[in-house]
Structure 1
Amino acid sequence: MQFKTPEGALECAPVKLVVAGWTGRDRAAVDHHIEELAAIGVPAPSSVPLYYQCSAALLTQEPQIQALAEGSSGEAEPFILKSDGKVWLGLASDHTDRSLETYSVAHSKQICAKPVADTLWLFDDVKDRLDQLELRSWIRENGDWVAYQDGMLASILPLADLMAGADLPDNAAMLCGTLPAIGGVRPATDFRMQLHDPATGNTIEWSYTTECLAVVA
């Protein structure tokens, strides 16, 4: 993978990927969401937060991914990369098969590619204002871009705590959880996401499309 950073180009091939789930800072809201999902058949997590183990090969910077059928969707998340002793912050999408979630959340995450933006910030440069960073996403519906997620990282558990809980080694990456979907989680083939730092005006942006593959049985 290749990234633009304040220190120049960075090339790396992560060997470990963790996808953190149930990372909302409001525990009562997280518990309520767990109950809602349980009512439609999604198994409750064994712990909160939970660190799903996924293949690092799922990380991609391609403008198009492929997924089975039309039941998958993206969600914007802070992205952590440890490389050469440094910690970097970026942006990724935890694209997930929603139908498979009712069988296993872990399997639903492992089956989909994880698009990653091509820009990173040094974690140390923003660590004192992480809560003020703004996370947004949009999906295309009926030909128009529609707001899908909008909030600040203050809604997510502190990223330093998530990193400590995941015990990330060097050359590892982590997706750190997300924000609620405006209007509810739903599939879309076109997805845009953004991480914005209002203190500097810097923004990380990325977009991708999903090709829906036929389910042949």
Structure 2
Amino acid sequence: MFPLRFDVAGRTVEVAVTTLLNAGYAGRSQEDVAAHVAELAELGVPAPTRTPCLYPVAPYLAMQADVVPVQHGRTSGEAEWALVITDDDVLLTAACDHTDRELEVHGVAWSKQAGPDVLGRKAWRLADVEGHLDELTLTAWAGGEKIQDGTLAELLTPRYWLDELRSRDLARPGTVLISGTIPMASEVDQFADTWRVDLTDPRTADTITCSYTVQRMPDPVA
């Protein structure tokens, strides 16, 4: 398992991921979440038994990749932030949860295992941005077209998830939590050959980016 390496204010921080968790249905307005669950149900995606959700994912799926191999043409990313617990700190970075949409209709947890969580190579200390967290923006482009654009005020906070992790004895070095996402623009084709996510602090104009190319694998010989 390869460690993740982050540039934190010019210092390299290395983290060996031991626990990877994907939050789901994690909007701060749970009324909006309920409406989203209903919309997905109409598309055949099974409704969760509770919200927000927390999906354990194989730790090796946390990566800093430039290329994401996929098995078919119906996979796509999601703009998210990632919480990374180190030996002595908590970091925040950009992330893109690449999801198999064909598999999602059979089980969200299964679909999370079918693609990686791509993280940025730069990170901020959570303590340095937590005081103005809701001002941070999250933006995604699919194939060069803007598909998601919002702020962290739309999502449950890192502090909420840290409390949740502590209650489950998971707030320990090597744990990475991916936040859940914000709404997508329905008119943009999410099944694109490139994905990019920007996490921006408007107070400093500093941006953390993760981006990658989606590469179709050869058809199986079977």
User: What TM-score, normalized to structure 1?
Assistant: 0.94
Out of 119, 124, 141, the position equivalent to 2:122 is 119
1:163 equivalent in alignment to 2:145: no
Question: Which aligned pairs between 1:135-146 and structure 2 lie closer than 5 A?
Answer: 135-140=138-143, 145-146=144-145
Out of 2, 6, 9, the position equivalent to 2:9 is 6
CA distance in 1 between partners of 2:165 and 2:96 (Å): 19
Corresponding pairs, count: 213
CA distance in 2 between partners of 1:76 and 1:215 (Å): 28
Out of 70, 76, 84, the position equivalent to 1:73 is 76
CA distance in 2 between partners of 1:85 and 1:196 (Å): 24
1:207 equivalent in alignment to 2:211: yes
Partner of residue 202, structure 2: 198
Unaligned runs of 5+ in 2: none
Partner of residue 26, structure 2: 23
Q: Which digits, 9 at most, give the CA deviation of each residue in 1:98-148, with x for residues without a partner?
A: 0101101000011101111100100000111111100001111xxxx2111
CA distance in 2 between partners of 1:164 and 1:171 (Å): 16
For the residue of structure 2 that corresponds to 1:166, the secondary structure is: helix
Unaligned runs of 5+ in 1: none
User: What TM-score, normalized to structure 2?
Assistant: 0.92
For the residue of structure 2 that corresponds to 1:118, the secondary structure is: coil
Partner of residue 33, structure 1: 36
CA distance in 2 between partners of 1:55 and 1:183 (Å): 30
For the residue of structure 2 that corresponds to 1:188, the secondary structure is: coil
Partner of residue 47, structure 2: 44
For the residue of structure 1 that corresponds to 2:70, the secondary structure is: strand
Once the two structures are TM-superposed, the CA of residue 162 in structure 1 deviates from its matched residue by: 1.8
Relative distance call for 1:109 and 1:151 in structure 2 (3 A) is: same
CA contact (8 A) 1:51 1:166 kept: no
